[in-house]
Amino acid sequence: MLTRIGLLAGSAGLYQAMTSMGHAMGTDFKGSPDLKGAKKGTRVVILGSGLAGMLAAYELRKAGYAVQIIEYQNRAGGRNITLRGGDVVNELGGYTQKVGFAPGNYINPGPWRIPYHHQGLLHYCQEFGVALEPFVELNHNSYLHSSAMFGGKPVRYRDYASDFTGYTAELLAKAIDQHKLDDVMSKDEREHVGAAMRGWAGLENNGAWVKGVRSSLRRGFERPQGGGIDGEPIPSDLLPRDEIMKSGLWQFMSFHERLDMQTTMFQPVGGMDNIGKGFIKQVHDLITLNCKVTAIHQDDHGVKVSYADMAHGGAMREVEADYCVCTIPLPVLSQLDVQVSGPLKAAISAVPYASSVKLGLEFKRRFWEQDEQIYGGISFTDQPISQISYPSGGIFSKGPGVLLGGYMFGPAAYDFAGMTPEQRVQAGIEQGLKIHPQYREEFSNGVGFAWSRMPWTLGCCSMWSEQARKQHYKALVTMDNRIVLAGEHASYVGCWQEGAILSSLAAITSLHKRAIGAA
């Protein structure tokens, strides 16, 4: 069903559907867990060093547990990743990309923003000293682009939003004045709503949305206000009402109104992986890298994990523990020899992961700022790239800059993942030219990151359906003898780092209760 939504409505529509199914919403963080009474030395093995795994290790060690983390990659942090110049991306199919960004430039191929109400993640950022700064989500000077409307040219967000609001308010005001709503509104209410429409949308006194000073004070002037003899501004023309409504670009206005996209949003200063680095500082001595787990077995006395030590020629090794916190992404976990109950095994296999692709494009200069006065925010398009996001950090800096040149989910992501990395970048440039004609001349280099081609996750994030949640969610998050799962997939906040945080806290609380005999 989500794939069909992606086909019909594009990446933005797919994301909205995910939101309505509980993949992105406010959270219920209540503080650090109470793990008092732990038996010192109780052994816990954690599989995966993403945020969920590292947080579990941090809190369990504080409580007195003997903890170790086994990680498949040669780095910790999981999907909390930032690409900088010199980094190498290896993907399934044999493609390798070497990132060529200038010093100080980066792209976040995974998580890239933090809502203000993700208090669990924000709590640990503060506790671990991770510096944050505002992330500009909504920029009224960004662009909206419909291939079929307005001559195929992009329009400023403020122009479209002002006209959409103005025309809508005018229609409602006319309906009130013509007594078309008398059966659902009292006289007093009609007066109040009429006044609200005029004030809210900037209508003229007669209730019309027309070219003039009032409309231009919202959508901008054709010739801006100035000084001297030629300082008088010239009002701007309105966009045609029929194209405003037919374009469907209003969906991008609604995008910013959902709880998970409302201001204020944050990002780590200097790259998203600075969050991962903050976590790593707390537990780096517990992590063993380059360990490819092949089997997870358990009995009433403990857990045994088999893995190939890739740092030593793939030598097979085993680690034994009293309990296991498994954060391995479900598409990978479902392929392993895992000794768990039938309901948990079915749950592990029931949740597909979204395909997602991000394009990081470096340009010789920050032309979006210098030429178009766009400082942060997002431009949306109905083309497959879906959106262009402008960096919120480094504003006004000189030299080259990096844009998020495309962010695809669903069918578009599969299409891009099927391309070579070079083809992904070139497709991003071709589509970006429809919005920014400077693209070709200013382009320097780029990277196309396809999550479905990452061998350590095989997708971007969990895609729970409502039916799957009803049937499998409880089994997935319930402790199975001595094994408990954690990660964004084990939460109602899928596809967000907050989901990893909350699932980790829930998992170790369950483990602790089992360990002390309270559950």
Q: What is the pLDDT of residues 70-107, one digit of tens each?
A: 999 999 999 999 999 999 999 999 999 999 999 999 99
User: Residue 388 — very low, low, confident or very high, per pLDDT cuts 50/70/90?
Assistant: very high
Residue range 107-132: average pLDDT?
Answer: 97
Read off the amino acid at residue 106. Y
Give percent above pLDDT 70 in the chain. Answer: 95
The predicted-structure confidence for 391-419, as pLDDT tens digits, reads as follows: 999 999 999 999 999 999 999 999 999 99
Kindly give the pairing relationship between strand 291-298 and strand 155-156.
unpaired
Nearest residue to 31 (alpha-carbon basis) of 59, 52, 69:
59
Nearest residue to 145 (alpha-carbon basis) of 387, 383, 390, 381:
381
How high is the pLDDT of residue 59?
98
Q: Average the pLDDT over each of 1-10, 134-143, 192-201 and give the range with the smallest value.
A: 1-10
How high is the pLDDT of residue 518?
75
Q: How many CB atoms lie within 10 A of CB 451?
A: 23
User: Residue 1 — very low, low, confident or very high, per pLDDT cuts 50/70/90?
Assistant: very low
- Is the distance from CB of 242 to CB of 366 less than 8 angstroms? no
Strand partners, 315: 309
d(CA 318, CA 305): 6
The predicted-structure confidence for 222-279, as pLDDT tens digits, reads as follows: 999 999 999 999 999 999 999 999 999 999 999 999 999 999 999 999 999 999 999 9
How high is the pLDDT of residue 26?
56
Nearest residue to 121 (alpha-carbon basis) of 512, 493, 490, 392:
493
- Residue with the bigger pLDDT between 30 and 51: it is 51
The predicted-structure confidence for 7-22, as pLDDT tens digits, reads as follows: 555 555 555 454 444 4
How high is the pLDDT of residue 121?
98
Mean pLDDT of the chain: 94
Read off the amino acid at residue 121. L
How high is the pLDDT of residue 30?
86
How high is the pLDDT of residue 17?
53
Residue range 342-351: average pLDDT?
Answer: 98
| Token reading at 238 | 């309105």
User: Residue 23 — very low, low, confident or very high, per pLDDT cuts 50/70/90?
Assistant: very low
d(CA 28, CA 131): 23
CATH topology of domain 83-141+263-274+354-453: Polyamine Oxidase; Chain A, domain 2 (3.90.660)
Is 462 in a helix, a strand, or coil? Answer: strand
Task: Give me the helices (H) in 340-465, please.
Answer: 342-349, 367-370, 410-417, 421-432, 439-442
Over 60: is that where the pLDDT of 5 sits? no
pTM of the model: 0.93
CATH topology match: 83-141+263-274+354-453 vs 156-247: no
Strand partners, 404: 360, 389
d(CA 69, CA 295): 15
CA atoms within 13 A of residue 301's CA, in its CB half-sphere: 1
CATH topology of domain 31-74+289-351+464-515: FAD/NAD(P)-binding domain (3.50.50)
Residue range 177-194: average pLDDT?
Answer: 93
User: Residue 4 — very low, low, confident or very high, per pLDDT cuts 50/70/90?
Assistant: low
Helices 273-283 & 119-127, crossing angle to 10 degrees?
Answer: 60
User: Residue 461 — very low, low, confident or very high, per pLDDT cuts 50/70/90?
Assistant: very high
| Token reading at 478 | 């319930």
Residue range 39-43: average pLDDT?
Answer: 95
How high is the pLDDT of residue 13?
56
CATH 1.20.1440.240 at 156-247, yes or no:
yes
How high is the pLDDT of residue 20?
46
How high is the pLDDT of residue 9?
54
Q: How many CB atoms lie within 10 A of CB 285?
A: 9
Over 80: is that where the pLDDT of 369 sits? yes
- Residue with the bigger pLDDT between 174 and 26: it is 174
Residue range 163-180: average pLDDT?
Answer: 96
Is 509 in a helix, a strand, or coil? Answer: helix
Is 435 in a helix, a strand, or coil? Answer: coil
How high is the pLDDT of residue 284?
98
Q: Which residue has the tokens 């030395």?
A: 41
User: In the chain, what are the domain boundaries?
Assistant: 31-74+289-351+464-515, 83-141+263-274+354-453, 156-247
In this structure, what DSSP letter does residue 240 have? P
